[in-house]
Structure 1
Amino acid sequence: MILLQAQHVARYFGADVLFENIYLEIQENSRIALVGRNGTGKSTLLKMIADIEQPDAGKIVKGKQVTIGYLAQNTGLSSEKSMWDEMLTVFEPVIQLEKDMRTIEQQLGDPALLSNEELYQSTLNRYDHLQNRFREENGFSYQAEIRSVLHGFRFYEDDYSKHISQLSGGQKTRLALAKLLLEKKDLLILDEPTNHLDIETLSWLENYLQSYTGALLIVSHDRYFLDKVVNEVYEISRQKISHYKGNYSKYLDLKAAQLEQEWKEFEKQQGEIAKLEDFVSRNLVRTSTTKRAQSRRKQLEKMDRIDKPQGDEKSARFSFKSEKESGNVVLTLANGAIGYEDTILSSPIELDVRKYDSIALVGPNGIGKSTLLKSLIGHLPLIQGEKHLGTNVLLGYYDQEQSDLNSTKSVLAELWDEHLTTPEKDIRSILGSFLFSGADVEKSVSSLSGGEKARLALAKLAMNKDNFLMLDEPTNHLDIDSKEVLENALIDFDGTLLFVSHDRYFINRIATTIIELSENGSTLYLGDYDYYLAKKAEQEEMRLLVETKTAETSKVEPVPTVKGNREINKAEQKTLRQLTRRIETIEVEMDELETIISNCETQLIDPEVFGNHLRVQELNTEINVAQEKLDNLVGEWEEKSLQVEELQ
């Protein structure tokens, strides 16, 4: 079933065209990526589809009952409520159903109602209807669902009472996405949903969206994420839109094949045109062949000429070259600890960076990856440890906040002021390779977009010709094309790299070594990101195997998981076993209570029973007692389950 169509949609800015004649169709369960360069109008089109903006031409057509959820770029949840209370607002209809059910349960025990058979039966029917709706709308598990989604976004029990107004911008963005997922709209429109998410949370979100029951329309520069989630791609380029079936990698293959075919058709027609024009020029003046020449000329005039394939739009040309070679040992850190004041985020950290290494730092948000880089360059002190920079090492640093850019300067001055002996034409040439041309170089830094600031910061880094680059989230704000250009430039770089990134595709292309940071320090993996994932899976499989064998030998129930990479101590093992056994007992008791409630409800609609007022009252009392016990058990089950998750 078609949920929505964009039909011949356009956006104009005076005489300028952002895009026009856009056609896009969304079916139920569609998984669509909208891609294109920064500035092509992707976010504008999403706002039109979400009915936030109106098109200048064309129309958006959607079903009357279709519900749409929209998450804008870098938006945050704004509320004065606590985190938990705000999530509960999603389930207000279910909560009201539960209140109505409790009210009717009390009414069913009223002797006055029991004496009126017709009113009693209608009340009982209404109760049965409400109970069915309550079950259908996940009434027994909505709190567990809230906890599950919040946990996926790395919010835990201690966070639930926090007021949203006290959260950071990144936390508010994650919470806005969490609420949107809980609302289960027919169409979910997400504009850069992967911002502010670490790799672990990204993996959780990918899995969640793969099983999402509605349709998805996503703008993202995370190619790994798109490959996992989408199966259709719409590309906006040169004011037009093109449609491809498949994930992002398949789209690239199809686009390349399409361009190759267009070139073949163009070149074939150009050959035919050349032959016809040659025939006409040689034979038009001859009496014996002039008619055939005129015929060929008419054929040329009627020919529907194929435009020359344009391919991709203009790309940046990044290049990083080192001025001189460093020694073989670039950087070492022994027994390092990072953090703030008395708070240690990660320890012990061991680094041994050698010439030509390309090392990616990975780990959850808040573990101190950026802090480590800043500690290594001296912007922050190490809490402990000894670092040593090697011989002839020239260190360059890319700050994800672009704090080294001067907002009061022009683009040209920002680069030229640090290289005064370089001719202006050379500075302009370098800026041109980073897509700053013409009047762009006179723009003030403060007026630049996030992507433009990122390109300017990279241009400054390239000008310094350092042989050891530390990069903190260098792909932030870059569109996919610029990311690919940056990747190729770093692959060709003749120096050493140490970088932090959440872009798994970028890590996989650049890194030859992965260092994982945790609260227990650093772990080294000698391979790319795919190797790192495979090794982690292998370690987990081995751990489970050893755990199972240990359990079989000791006749002790196996503990399903461990906490990080640490060995669980005996106290934790004992607690996990106790919690697991209690959860199993609770589940059995819940099944028994649900059976009791179901049997009582079946008896209540039996004609032989509902005429017996005393028996009806007994059954209602039994239902109320069983339901109260069930509610308590559900709460305990959720609490014990979360305790198990926290120990894992």
Structure 2
Amino acid sequence: MSLINVTNLTFAYEGSYDNIFENVNFQIDTDWKLGFTGRNGRGKTTFLQLLLGKHEYIGAISANVTFEYFPYPVPNKENMTLDVISEIFPDYIHWQLMRELSLLKVDEDVLYRPFASLSNGEQTKVLLAALFIKENSFLLIDEPTNHLDMQARTWVSDYLNTKSGYILVSHDRAFLDNCVDHILSINKTNIEIQKGNFSSWWENKRRLDNFELAQNEKLRRDINRLADSSKRTGNWSHEVEKTKNGTRNSGSKVDKGYIGHKAAKMMKRSKSIEQRQQSAIDQKSKLLKNIESSETLEIVQLPYHKNTFAELEQISIYYGEKLVCSDVDFTIEQGDRIALSGKNGSGKSSILKLICGEDIQYTGSFTKDSQLKISYVSQDTSHLQGNLTEFARDNGIDESLFKSILRKLDFSRVQFEKDISTFSGGQKKKVLIAKSLSEHVHLHIWDEPLNFVDVISRMQIEELLLEYTPTIIFVEHDREFCGNVATKIIEL
């Protein structure tokens, strides 16, 4: 066991006005299985890069370990997979590699195929195997679940549960719960570490948030009561003070000393009340700093004149001579929330594209009303560029609604001035989701919408779909999300 100590860490990117980290202090045990969570854009990947020494910073990070980062870059994907591993770790021992691949349920034959020919899941697992054969390293694992199907996520999570000594960035709740024993969370104003998995951390956070909200309400009432009391006491003091120059008891002279003493006493009481009020205000200002804004999102789907939106009967899809999927049967009806499930490469995205009206080679019967309006969220975000105002205008959506949704998904106003191409992967996904929610349509079709999207935003989107019950068909590998949202699951 050794420790990683972070002391007074402060960091901002060159040219930025805002610090990503400011005087941050915490300590990590290198035997921990550490889950790393926080809203998109809070600096999770940046912190991993600081550990790797990629940026200059103020403060200190001390550690007696070397760091290894996942995913490894693979510049020559046409090389044999075995050669890719040799480039990453020239001194690897073959039986150790085979042990790790076996634990990850990867066949040996992938080593003798071009890396580019492997599925996304196979590539991820091969690179994880290469990562874990490096001994005496503390591992920085950055979002390994993206593009993994549900079964592969289970295997990788079970695999990581047998290991220790890593920081794992993931937004999949079930995945984190299965393979971490501590949570490192980047909050609005600090970074904290708690023992336990994601669910225990979230429950503790909810309790603390509810306590702070209750305290905030109590202090707000106290401040208003003290303000009214201070004002009344101050007014009484001034009224008493004015009688010093008047008369009392049918023209007899007033006791100016007595009245002055009484006025001063009341003024002192007023000052005391003001001090208590200020103390309550100061106490109130310390609350709510780490409560995440998770305001309710809204969606308005157009009413449709038919109950049935589309029907697929005995659908088989081909790419050239290759059969992608076969004998697919289901109906999309108003109010359905359909999850397409299956391994990577089983044809889920192809089915979505067929429903959207793309030119897909298929056999079988597919019917869809020509008046059906569809909003599509694709996996790909590489085409996004320009500012958000231009994006809203080019896509014919209401700019104020679009930006309001992004604000609720934790976009700062500073973000609105930046080019979308500079956004993080999760922020780009949120742009596509906000666009979809702003469109007036009958049916939403989302293809892996939650890749890179932070956990709290996922739960907001989940709540939205449960509250407004729009008609939607989606592909998503987040087990919790699918289990909570879907009314039908179609296995391919």
TM-score, normalised via structure 2 length: 0.81
- Look up the match of 1:244: 194
TM-superposed CA distance for 1:80, in Å, is: 8.3
Partner AA of 1:40 in structure 2? R
Q: How does 1:22-421 map to 2 (within 5 A)?
A: 22-54=24-56, 56-63=57-64, 66-72=65-71, 75-76=73-74, 82-85=80-83, 87=85, 141-142=95-96, 144-149=98-103, 152=105, 154=106, 156-164=107-115, 172-212=123-163, 214-270=164-220, 280-283=230-233, 285=237, 287-288=261-262, 289-290=265-266, 305-307=283-285, 308-315=287-294, 318-390=297-369, 393-402=372-381, 407=385, 410-419=387-396
User: Distance in 2 between the 1:91 and 1:416 partners?
Assistant: 49
AA aligned opposite 1:10:
T
Q: Which residue of 1 aligns with 2:405?
A: 433
Rate the CA distance shift 1:296–1:187 in 2: closer, same or farther, 3 A.
same
What does residue range 486-635 of structure 1 map to in structure 2 within 5 Å? Answer: 486-517=461-492
Residue 278 of structure 1, CA deviation: 5.2
User: C-alpha distance in 2, partners of 1:197/1:357?
Assistant: 25
Is it true that 1:6 corresponds to 2:6 in the alignment? yes
Specify the SS of the correspondent of 2:160. Answer: helix
- C-alpha distance in 2, partners of 1:352/1:298? 67
Q: Secondary structure at the match of 1:183?
A: coil
Distance 1:381 1:91 in 2: 42
Question: Which residue identity is paired with 2:82?
Answer: W
Alpha carbons of structure 1 residues 512 and 75: separation in structure 2 relative to 1, 3 Å: farther
SS at match of 2:426: helix
User: Please, which of 429, 444, 452 is the counterpart of residue 454 of structure 1?
Assistant: 429
| Partner residue, 2:246 | none
User: Which of the two has greater helix per residue?
Assistant: 1
SS in 2 for 1:383: strand
Distance change >3 Å, CA 11–CA 389, structure 1 → 2:
same
Percent identity (aligned): 29
State the one-letter code of the partner of 1:206: S
Instruction: Tell me how far 1:410 sits from its aligned partner.
Output: 4.3
- Secondary structure at the aligned position of 1:16 is classed as coil
Gap change, CA 1:78 and 1:187, over 3 Å in 2: farther
CA distance in 1, matches of 2:169, 2:420: 26
1:104-161 C-alpha deviation (Å, 9 max, x unpaired): xxxxxxxxxxxxxxxxxxxxxxxxxxxxxxxxxxx9x536415415x53x4x343222
More relative contact order, 1 or 2 (CA 8 Å, 6+ apart): 2
In 2, are the aligned partners of 1:68 and 1:185 still within 8 Å (CA)? no
Change (3 A) 1:357 1:279: closer
Change (3 A) 1:223 1:75: farther
Shift of 1:190: 0.9
Q: Secondary structure at the match of 1:58?
A: strand
User: Match for 2:21 among 12, 19, 22?
Assistant: 19
Matched positions, count: 458
- Aligned residue number for residue 243 of structure 2: none
The C-alpha deviation readout for 1:383-411, integer Å capped at 9, x for no partner, is 311111258633332221158x674x543
Q: Report the CA distance between 1:415 and its aligned residue.
A: 2.6
Tell me the secondary structure at the aligned position of residue 20 of structure 2: strand
Match in the other structure for 2:249: none
Give 1:341 deviation, angstroms: 1.2
Determine the C-alpha separation between the residues in 2 that align with 1:320 and 1:299: 45
* SS of residue in 2 equivalent to 1:505: helix
- Confirm or deny: 8 A CA contact 1:336 1:382 kept in the other structure: no
Question: How has the CA–CA distance of structure 1 residues 439 and 301 changed in structure 2, closer, same or farther, with 3 Å as cutoff?
Answer: closer
RMSD over aligned Cα atoms: 3.4
Counterpart of 1:633 in structure 2 is none
- The letter for the 2-side match of 1:450 is G
Q: How far 1:232 moved relative to its partner?
A: 1.9
Kindly name which structure, 1 or 2, has the bigger radius of gyration based on alpha carbons: 1
TM-fit CA distance, 1:317: 5.8
- Distance 1:236-1:439 versus aligned 2 partners, 3 A rule: closer
Unaligned runs of 5+ in 1: 96-138, 518-648
> Structure 1 53/170 Cα, relative in aligned 2: closer, same or farther at 3 Å?
farther
Distance 2:223 2:362 in 1: 74
Corresponding letter in the other structure for 2:377: Y
Do the aligned partners of 1:363 and 1:369 also contact (CA within 8 Å) in 2?
Answer: yes
Secondary structure class of the residue paired with 1:312: coil
Q: Determine which of 428, 441, 445 is the counterpart of 1:466.
A: 441
Name the CA distance, whole Å, in 1 between partners of 2:199 and 2:10: 28
Flag the 1:33–1:327 CA change in 2: closer, same or farther, 3 A: same
Shift of 1:449: 4.0
| 1:481 matched residue in structure 2 | 456
**Larger % of strand: which?**
2
- The Cα shift of 1:181 comes to 2.1
Contact 2:5 / 2:61 at 8 angstroms: preserved in 1? yes
